[in-house]
Amino acid sequence: SILIVDFGSQVTQLIARRVREAGVYSEIAPFTTAAEAFARMKPKGIILSGSPASVLDEGSPRVPQEIFDSGLPILGICYGQQVMMHQLGGEVRLGDMGEFGSAVIEVTDDCVLFDGLWQIGEHHQVWMSHGDKVTALAPGFRPVATSPGSPIAVVADDTRRYYATQFHMEVAHTPDGAKLLANFVRHVCGLAGEWTMAEFRAAKIADIRKQVGKGRVICGLSGGVDSAVAAVLIHEAIGEQLTCVFVDHGLMRAGEADQVVSLFRNSYNIPLVHVNAEATFLEGLAGVTDPEKKRKFIGGAFIDLFEAEAKKVGGADFLAQGTLYPDVIESVSFTGGPSVTIKSHHNVGGLPERMNMQLVEPLRELFKDEVRVLGRELGLPQAFVGRHPFPGPGLAIRIPGEVTKERCDILRKADAIYLEEIRNAGLYDTIWQAFAVLLPVRSVGVMGDGRTYDSVLALRAVTSTDGMTAEAFEFPGGFLARVSTRIVNEVRGVNRVTYDYTSKPPGTIEWE
Ligand code: XMP
């Protein structure tokens, strides 16, 4: 296995993902507990992540000495490179200017990381994001690639099997990054690359059994793929110790709540409590317009209802959720860790401290497409597994401004037309997420001989591989015009339709 030491980069989990893709098991440990994780795991190699910190700052994170003393191969990425140079006797300085975004490096020497990939003299695109740079090599290292902003862009010490790059090889913007990482894992660490999702399933089932023991687990279904996959996995692990509770907040898309209930009750025979709480949620959302307040309220109400159900079930000790990695990275910060909260996705950030159940979150390390692979591995139907992601707070965060029953119904109708057209055009599976947003803006229109003054609807469709970055989807000519016409004709209350072309970043996928 590989131990990934996390210094708090926003993209550390992508390293884990790339290592999984190379067919090798890995675990991430925050630098604060890296020494313990190292002793427990007995890994075959170490990867040091990036960080928002600077090695020049007093008290900034360091690599535990045991790791250098172990004689194992080490790969440093960005801050990982700088901290290696700093601790091993090189020099890091504040750059005159930072380097953020695409950069081109020139290969100046052979390196095992480049095996079968890059030759001396070639130029390759990579992704940089750093302020400091390495200005003097630590003893034993040689430079093997260079860029205008980072003269020491990649370094190698073949004797100790230490390698480090200033660029981020784990992100998709470094096109050859996954292969560079695979070279480290396979050729340097000598790992075979035979790990699969079937093993992940088996490992998680063992973890769940160990964590839960004879306890009772109550699993919150959201109606989406993630919580369903989590529930089926947990059911496989502990059977009747699991009860699923579907708190139906009434903020789902047309027809989706019924599909979930039927899947669980009829196809899987998993005990399911269906709580129809639409009225409670709408009452609580009355007058609330701030996106974070909506999330906090919905998260809180969810937990309240769970607690009530847990009592009825007879003292559940654990609450299971289908939290994925992108929910975690955008919600959580740990000491020395990621800096800003962009959105507190309710299934993580909204949990009140008072909750006296422990969390079971078997998908916490996975990205969406990996959850789909796991779902198929567990036998869930493709039509369900292939569903676009849907946010926990549902339509509430697709109705900027106040959420009312009337506005939910308008949105549901328009959204259903949009998705029907997408399916008919055979585009559903090429799009990561498509949905409509009902704006708190009214515009003047003319229908028949009359003036209208109704709401504006925004359509959104994005492509993405992990939800962390996204591009607006380009529909074929005529498609949006057709959808727009249908919506304005068929949905009372909407008289104008717009299309959102913003990518992420700088936008986010949802509007709130
Ligand atoms: P953003 O809007 O942050 O969304 O680019 C990234 C992904 O997360 C989903 N999302 C949420 N999921 N609770 C969730 O469970 C939330 O509060 C939430 N907000 C956004 C979003 O649909 C996209 O897939």
Instruction: Assign 306 a pLDDT band (cuts: 50, 70, 90).
Output: confident
Among 460, 462, 510, residue to substitute to test ligand 1 (most atoms within 8 Å of Cβ): 510
| Mutational test site, ligand 1, from 281, 293, 345, max ligand atoms within 8 Å of CB | 345
**The dihedral sign for the CA sequence 470, 475, 476, 477:** negative
Is the backbone of residue 432 left (phi > 0), alpha (psi -120 to 50) or beta? Answer: alpha
Helix (H) or strand (E) holding 485: helix 479-490
Contact 134, 85 (CB under 8 A): yes
Q: Average pLDDT in the 335-361 region?
A: 57
- Asked if residue 404 lies in contact with residue 55, where contact means CB atoms within 8 angstroms, the answer is no
- Residues forming beta bridges with residue 475, ordered by sequence position: none
Per the model's pLDDT, the better-predicted residue between 376 and 321 turns out to be 376
Asked if pLDDT for residue 509 goes beyond 60, the answer is yes
pLDDT, one tens digit per residue, over 395-442 is 999 999 999 999 999 999 999 999 999 999 999 999 999 999 999 999
Q: Is the pLDDT of residue 350 over 60?
A: no
* Residue-wise pLDDT tens digits, 434-453: 999 999 999 999 998 899 99
Closest CA to 333 of 53, 86, 63, 94: 53
394 Cα: distance to centroid of ligand 1 (angstroms) = 9
- Ligand 1 atom with the shortest distance to the CA of 470: 5
Q: Residue 343: which pLDDT band, with cuts at 50, 70 and 90?
A: low
DSSP state of 196: -
For 6, 43, 60, 257, 286, the CA distances from 335, given in Å and listed in that order, are 11, 24, 11, 39, 36
CB-based burial label for 467 (10 Å; 0-12, 13-18, 19+):
buried
Three-state secondary structure readout of 251-288: CCCCCHHHHHHHHHHHHHCCCEEEEECHHHHHHHHCCC
* Ligand 1 atom nearest 343 alpha carbon: 3
C-alpha–C-alpha distance, residues 476 and 325, integer Å: 32
Q: Which helix (H) or strand (E) segment is 2 a member of?
A: strand 2-6
Instruction: Give the Cα separation of 493 and 457 in Å (integer).
Output: 10
% of the chain residues with pLDDT over 70: 95
Residue 27 has pLDDT above 70, yes or no: yes
Contact 438, 410 (CB under 8 A): yes
Q: What is the pTM of this model?
A: 0.74
223 marked ligand binding residue: yes
Residue 16 has pLDDT above 80, yes or no: yes
**pLDDT the model gives residue 352:** 41
Average pLDDT of span 75-84: 97
d(CA 240, CA 364): 23
Mean pLDDT of 40-48: 96
Please tell me whether 101 is known to bind a ligand: no
Please tell me which of 57-71, 353-367, 459-473 the model is most confident about, judged by mean pLDDT: 57-71
Instruction: List all residues whose CB is within 6 A of at least one atom of ligand 1.
Output: 295, 326-327, 330, 343, 345-347, 389, 391-393, 433, 467, 504, 508-510
Whether pLDDT at 391 is above 80: yes
Residue 97: its pLDDT value, please?
75
SS3 for 424? helix
State the closest ligand 1 atom to the C-alpha of 388, by its place in the atom list counted from 1: 24
Dist. CA 510 → ligand 1 center (Å): 6
Distance 438 CA to ligand 1 centre (A): 17
8 Å CB contact between 258 and 230: no
- Banded pLDDT at 336 (limits 50, 70, 90): very low
pLDDT at 222: 82
Structural tokens at position 311: 């009592």
Residue 224 is labelled as binding a ligand: yes
Q: Can you tell me the distance from the alpha carbon of 366 to that of 466, in angstroms, rounded to the nearest whole number?
A: 10
Q: Which atom of ligand 1 is nearest to the CA of 433?
A: 24
Helices (H) then strands (E): counts for the chain: 16, 18
Give the closest residue (by CA) to ligand 1 atom 6.
467
Which residues on neighbouring strands pair with residue 107, listed in sequence order? 145
Percent of the chain with pLDDT over 90: 74
Give the pLDDT confidence score for residue 130 in this predicted structure.
86
Distance 396 CA to ligand 1 centre (A): 12
pLDDT in tens, 101-157: 899 999 999 999 999 999 999 999 999 988 899 999 999 999 999 999 899 999 999
Cβ neighbourhood burial of 116 (10 Å; 0-12, 13-18, 19+): exposed
H or E, element range at 445: strand 433-447
Mean pLDDT of the chain: 91
Position 273 pLDDT exceeds 80: yes
151-155, 178-182, 346-350, 494-498: segment of lowest average pLDDT: 346-350
355: pLDDT confidence band, cut at 50, 70 and 90? low
Query: Is the backbone peptide bond immediately before 506 cis, with ω within 30 degrees of 0?
Result: yes
* Full 3-state SS string of 12-67: HHHHHHHHHHCCCCEEEEEHHHHHHHHHHHCCCEEEECCCCCCCCCCCCCCCCHHH
| pLDDT of the residue at 63 | 97
352 against 104, higher pLDDT:
104
* The predicted structure's pLDDT at residue 345: 59
Give me the pLDDT at residue 346, please: 45
pLDDT tens-digit map of 170-200? 998 999 999 999 999 999 999 998 888 999 9
Alpha carbon of 298 to ligand 1 centroid (Å)? 14
Asked if residue 211 has pLDDT above 80, the reply is: yes
- Alpha carbon 399 to its chain centroid, in Å, reads 23
Residue 503 marked in a binding site: no
Token code pair at residue 373: 């692979």
Using DSSP, state whether 297 is helix, strand or coil: helix
245 is in an annotated binding site: no
Q: 82 has which bridge partners?
A: none
Residues belonging to the active site: 78, 168, 170
Q: What is the pLDDT of residue 56?
A: 94
C-beta separation of 61 from 7 below 8 A? yes
The preferred substitution site among 13, 251, 324, 327 for testing ligand 1, maximizing ligand atoms within 8 Å of CB, is: 327
Side chain identity at residue 280, one-letter code? T
| Lowest mean pLDDT across 269-278, 290-299, 344-353 | 344-353
Pick from 13-27, 104-118, 249-263, 366-380 the range whose average pLDDT is largest. 104-118
